[in-house]
Amino acid sequence: MVETLKNYIAGKWTESTSGKTFENENPSKRGEILNCAQSSTSEEMRQAIDKASEVFPMWRNTPVETRQKLVGEFLKLLADSRDELAAAVTRENGKTIRESHSEIDSALLEGEYHHRQISTFSGHVAISNKFGVAWEQYHPLGVVGIISPWNYPVNVMCRKTLPALLTGNTVVFKPASFTPWSATIMARLFESAGFPPGVFNCITGMGSSVGNAIIKDRRIRAVSFTGSTSVGRKIQALAAENLTRTQLELGGKNALIVMDDANLDEAVQAAVAAGFGCSGQWCTSTSRILLHRDISVKFIEKLVQVANGMKVGDPLDRSTDMGPVAGPDQFENISTAIAKAEKDGAKLLCGGVLKPDIGGYFIRPTVFDDVTPSMEIFREEIFGPVLGITKFTCLDEAIDLANKSAYGLSSAIFTGNIKSAQKYIDLMDAGMAHVNIHTGFKTPEMPFGGWKESGFGQPENSRTGLDFFVDRKAVYLRGI
């Protein structure tokens, strides 16, 4: 019998009244059920919102030092649980154990940043006017909803939840259905850290029911969502009904430009790190490589050699370079996209789908050449270890190609020329521009968000990570 995970609502671990659960499968061993999670209903979400609303006045009036202390305690427990949590992430998501550890380290780094930042997060200084003084004051919003994806189940959740709690909001959290285990472990850490019941609630279940119930509830003041652009659109449309504030971190089709004066070994490393890391399942992964024609033969030779040498297999084995993709839906989608790219005329240089009989949802690092802007592989997010190469002859053409996308999340250029770098920085339509660094690199001080169809609302991290969760009040005081 596998363990049945429970919801964490109002400080209690409860089962759904639906009486139903769903299975959490290990993507590296098809058919191995790790545990089951509650198929909750909108009624459970309503109960969680009831409680989060009830305790909001208490939490809002809790001194910021106390909120900061509790978040500090959570971060300490997160660090202590690093190995347990990394193993759960690897087993339910399929990323390698090294990648899971680094995800948790990233959550800690960002969490510690916000934990420090809250100390100096206050309204602006008083400005005098003809009647007296005025200043800007910040207030928490109330109950906020957090909906996260399966690809970074720890990092994304913490990047949203910790700023929400630090600024005095109460939280209802719905994790992705592929990763309920790591979510439940984190809910336990919130409980152990001593957060008052109802301040943080975790409810598992389908996006279309439990997720939807968050957005439909008028008491929800803001929703922070990370996931696909198609679901983001639905959320935005629903949120408009109640004028709920949204922060949407969505899909990407990130380009890496390699100029003829680039350090090719470093550029290949960047393509591999951001193209095949986490089996290509990160929003800021590289999926399009734009190559200067003069170095294309050399670059491709090196890239294919590294890709073919990568060890794909058991993600718990430390010598594995790449694990499986997260589940049957992803396996199916990526396989279909690979077949479509071949049909459209792109040239498969290496990789492809591994036969399902090897036990899990494995896809080898895949590279396509001769990709043109009209092909789906150039335009659509595949969210798998698949790179498409398009060649160019000058920088203007490269930037034009890079911007030929509905998305605008991350990007990178490899060049030895500062003028080329500057032009790219100025003209690239994306929320992140990297020079001689791969597309996935980020630090907590910098805004994390996308342009165009890659995002909406204030970015995460940086100062805006906290800003999103507060209302502003302009105070005008006339002396008595």
Q: Is 92 in the site for Mg ion (CB under 5 A)?
A: yes
Dihedral pair phi/psi, residue 119, rounded to 5° = -60, -30
Shortest spacing between CB 236 and ligand NAP, in angstroms: 11
Shortest spacing between CB 360 and ligand NAP, in angstroms: 18
The 10 Å Cβ neighbour count of residue 349 is: 18
Which among ligand NAP, Mg ion, none contacts residue 92 (Cβ within 5 to 8 A by kind)?
A: Mg ion
CA distances to 55, 61, 373, 390 from 52, rounded to whole Å, are 5, 14, 48, 50
Q: CB under 5 A: which stretch of 70-78, 91-99, 128-136, 470-478 binds Mg ion?
A: 91-99
Which of residues 30 and 60 has its CB atom nearest to Mg ion in the complex? 30
Residue nearest to ligand NAP (CB): 207
CB 307 within 8 A of CB 367: yes
Which of residues 134 and 206 has its CB atom nearest to ligand NAP in the complex? 206
Q: Choose, from 44, 249, 453, 460, the residue flagged as catalytic.
A: 249
CB 93 within 8 A of CB 326: yes
Which among Mg ion, ligand NAP, none contacts residue 163 (Cβ within 5 to 8 A by kind)?
A: none
Q: CB under 5 A: which stretch of 44-52, 92-100, 233-241, 393-401 binds Mg ion?
A: 92-100
Q: Which of residues 161-180 bind Mg ion (CB under 5 A)?
A: 178
Which among Mg ion, ligand NAP, none contacts residue 24 (Cβ within 5 to 8 A by kind)?
A: Mg ion
CA 215, CA 213: separation in Å to the nearest integer? Answer: 6
CA 117, CA 123: separation in Å to the nearest integer? Answer: 13
CA 447, CA 284: separation in Å to the nearest integer? Answer: 13
Q: Is 24 in the site for Mg ion (CB under 5 A)?
A: yes
Q: Please report, as ranges, the residues that interact with ligand NAP according to CB under 6 A.
A: 147-152, 156, 174, 176-177, 206-208, 211-212, 226-228, 231, 234-235, 249-252, 283, 381, 383, 409, 450, 454-455
Q: Choose, from 283, 350, 380, 381, the residue flagged as catalytic.
A: 283
Shortest spacing between CB 380 and ligand NAP, in angstroms: 10
Distance of alpha carbon 77 from the chain centroid: 22
Joined together, the tokens standing for residue 142 give 């109330």
Which among Mg ion, ligand NAP, none contacts residue 106 (Cβ within 5 to 8 A by kind)?
A: none
Q: Is 361 in the site for Mg ion (CB under 5 A)?
A: no
435 burial type by CB count under 10 A (0-12 exposed, 13-18 middle, 19+ buried): middle
Which among Mg ion, ligand NAP, none contacts residue 207 (Cβ within 5 to 8 A by kind)?
A: ligand NAP
Which of residues 24 and 177 has its CB atom nearest to ligand NAP in the complex? 177
Which of residues 24 and 405 has its CB atom nearest to Mg ion in the complex? 24
Which of residues 13 and 22 has its CB atom nearest to ligand NAP in the complex? 22
CA distances to 57, 73, 135, 221, 426 from 196, rounded to whole Å, are 12, 13, 32, 20, 47
CA 48, CA 77: separation in Å to the nearest integer? Answer: 24
Which among ligand NAP, Mg ion, none contacts residue 81 (Cβ within 5 to 8 A by kind)?
A: none
Which among ligand NAP, Mg ion, none contacts residue 250 (Cβ within 5 to 8 A by kind)?
A: ligand NAP
Joined together, the tokens standing for residue 166 give 């630090």
Distance of alpha carbon 214 from the chain centroid: 19
Which of residues 322 and 350 has its CB atom nearest to ligand NAP in the complex? 322
Which of residues 151 and 286 has its CB atom nearest to Mg ion in the complex? 151
Dihedral pair phi/psi, residue 337, rounded to 5° = -65, -35
Shortest spacing between CB 26 and Mg ion, in angstroms: 7
Q: Which of 225, 176, 238 is nearest to 203 (CA)?
A: 176
Dihedral pair phi/psi, residue 159, rounded to 5° = -60, -25
Shortest spacing between CB 152 and ligand NAP, in angstroms: 6
What are the strands, taking DSSP E only, across 385-450? 386-392, 407-408, 411-414, 434-435
Shortest spacing between CB 89 and Mg ion, in angstroms: 10
Q: To which residue do tokens 């790591």 refer?
A: 182
Q: To which residue do tokens 């005095």 refer?
A: 168
| Dihedral Cα 153, 451, 171, 21, nearest 10 deg | -40
CB 145 within 8 A of CB 219: no
Which of residues 155 and 420 has its CB atom nearest to ligand NAP in the complex? 155
Is 266 marked active-site? no
Which among Mg ion, ligand NAP, none contacts residue 410 (Cβ within 5 to 8 A by kind)?
A: none
Shortest spacing between CB 332 and Mg ion, in angstroms: 15
The 10 Å Cβ neighbour count of residue 296 is: 18
Q: Is 191 in the site for Mg ion (CB under 5 A)?
A: no
Q: Is 362 in the site for Mg ion (CB under 5 A)?
A: no
Dihedral pair phi/psi, residue 290, rounded to 5° = -105, 115
Is 350 marked active-site? no
Shortest spacing between CB 428 and ligand NAP, in angstroms: 16
Q: Catalogue the active-site residues.
A: 249, 283
> Which stretches of the chain bind Mg ion, using CB under 5 A?
24-25, 92, 178
